[in-house]
Structure formats: structure tokens, C-alpha cells
Amino acid sequence: MAGEMKIFSGSANPELAKKICKMLSIPLGKATSFTFSEGNIYVKLKENVRRKEVFFIQSGLTPVNDLLMETLFFIDAFKRSSAASVTVVLPFFPYTKGDKKDEPRVSIRAKVVSEIIEAIGANRLLTMDLQPPQIQGFFRIPVDNLYAMPVFHEYIKGLNLKEIVVVAPDFGAAKMANTFAQQLNAPVALGSKKRHGYRDTVEITDIIGDVNGKNVVIIDDMVISGSTLVGISDLLKHRGAQKIYACVTHAYLTDDFIAKLEQSQIDQLIITDTLPINSTRKHDKITQLSVAYLLSEAISSIYNGDPLSKLFSRVEWVG
């Protein structure tokens, strides 16, 4: 690309943006964003982006609607300021649970989000562990879906665990767990659960596979309430599991979840920094790994017109 690279951050996760900029050896772009007393959001760029290749980083979960509107306003500001291109970096993509019409008279919310991001002028989307990955098909612009698996794999390998079993807490995580297990040369076990209503209330009904006397690594894309992780860890311990580790890409940590984690059978929860951690919610059981390297490599490849295949070479997907 001919234009200079510029990286800006939304208000959700500026620390992640700073890590990415440090790895790319460029300063974080200057901009401001605030909310008026009536709730309106205001954004303004504080430097020139004319003919620049802009990468806008926004990675957070709450307040989801405010963050989404802030993202849209920034995209509009970049386009109106004559940026050559705008790549939206959303490591955590909002409204992924609304990916289909699974009952009458409901909105396909993820489709709506994809359409407005595209309509406002984004040229490309960069995300991570999009679940379900078919959401990529909602876009007509290029979408790059990175995987946090290499980060988890390196960490787990460093623990030098013996007798490992990788566990998918539900059928949705089965493919991810199967691939992760292949990287570790370990067997897979599969959990089965029932979800009650629209709330984050689940019941773990069974585990398919032998975990007796094994060190277990649970792999999942996201945790919010923690009901699934806590429920399956209880059942795993009842089935004879030894140490229980949980690797989760997107972790929304609440006070309620921290209380559940404290009392749970989970020995260590390993998460990434796609979502920020409040300082009051840090815990001895929680280890946070950074995906800044993966994102910085992807941004560099996109900017230079290089293939992103090197970021996927360590992840050989299996069915």
C-alpha cells in the first residue's frame, strides 16, 4: 500500500492497541471520544489521515451498543477525512449469538451489525475466534478470522503436563477442541449441555470420553456467566479428572463469575486480552495471555499486501 499506516483505538481496550503499536513501532493515533449527558457519543480525529491506511481497534463487550456506535462514528470520521482505507479490528465481534433466525419474528442481529459496518464504509474486518465462523459470510468485504490457538498451545506445552485430555464443553466447541487436541497429540472428550431459556443458565448433562486420572484442558471461545465452565469442571472432577485447565479466548469477567471461579474445580483459567480485565477482578486462578503479536502480524501483512497464511500455518484444522 502507498499510504502511511495509522492505528487508532476506540475506548474499549486501549491497552491492547498500545501493545500492538509497540510491536509495530508506530505511535497510537490521536483521537478523542466522549459521551454527552443525554447519551450522544462524540468522536474527533486529532491528526491528519488523508490518504492513510487506517486500522481502527475496538475490542470490548460492554456497553455493547455504545461501543458499536463509537466504532461506526470513527469509521465515518476516517472516510470523511479521506482515509485511503479503513480496516476495522474487532478481536471480539458483537452479537455473535444472533447469527440465525431460529424462531419466528426475530432479528438476525449479527447480520445487521455486519451490514452497518460495511455500509458506513469499512474496507476490511479483522477479528478473532469468530463463533460461529459462518458470520464471515454476512460480509461482502474481506474478513480475516484469526485464531488464538497458537497462544494457548505455546502456554500449555510450557506446563509439561502428562496424560492430557482436551475437552469441548459443548458441540459448538468440538471442532476447536479436536484441532487443539491434535496439536497436543491428546485425545478429546465432549460435553453435552442444555440451555434453559434466553438467560446464561445451562445444565451439563454428560461427558463423552474418559477423563479418569487425566489432566484436562477445556477449550472454548467465550465465557460470560461461567455456568458452562463451572458445571463441566464439577462433572470432570466427579469423573476422576486431576488438574483442570480452561483456555478461553474471550472472557467477560464479572464479580459473580469471579465468585463462581473461586469455588469451582478449575485450577487455572487461561484467557486472552481481547477483552480487558478490571483490576478488581484479577484472581490467582486467572492467567491472561496477549494476542497482540498475532494481531500486529496480521495488520502488518494486510498493510504490506502479504498473505496471512503464516498465521494459520501452526493451526491445521481437522473436522
Residue 319 lies in a domain: no
pLDDT in tens, 12-40: 999 999 999 999 999 999 999 999 999 99
CATH of the domain at 107: 3.40.50.2020
Asked if residue 118 and residue 156 are part of one domain, the reply reads: no
Q: Return d(Cα 32, Cα 44) in angstroms, integer.
A: 5
Rounded-to-10 torsion of CA 10, 64, 204, 181: -30
Domain count across the chain: 2
User: Tell me: the pLDDT tens digits for 242-276?
Assistant: 999 999 999 999 999 999 999 999 999 999 999 99
- Does one domain contain both 305 and 266? no
Peptide bond into 132 cis (omega under 30): yes
Q: Looking at the predicted structure, is the pLDDT value of residue 316 above 60?
A: no
| pLDDT over threshold 80, residue 237 | yes
Q: Give pLDDT, residue 184.
A: 93
Give the per-residue pLDDT at 199: 57
Round the average pLDDT of the chain to a whole number and report it.
92
Q: What is the pLDDT of residues 269-305, one digit of tens each?
A: 999 999 998 887 889 999 999 999 999 999 999 999 9
My answer on whether 166 and 69 are in the same domain is: no
C-alpha 316/C-alpha 187 separation (Å) is 16
Is residue 118 located within the same domain as residue 183?
Answer: no
97 and 155 both lie in a single domain: no
Do 26 and 65 belong to one domain? yes
Please tell me the pTM assigned to this model. Answer: 0.93
193 is catalytic: yes
Q: Is residue 143 domain-shared with residue 153, that is, in the same domain?
A: no
Residue 196, pLDDT score: 61
Q: What is the DSSP letter of 134?
A: G
pLDDT at position 76 over 60: yes
Q: Is residue 316 part of a domain?
A: no
Euclidean distance between CA atoms 113 and 183, whole angstroms? 34
**Active-site annotation holder among 175, 193, 260, 285:** 193
Residue 17 lies in domain: 5-147+293-311
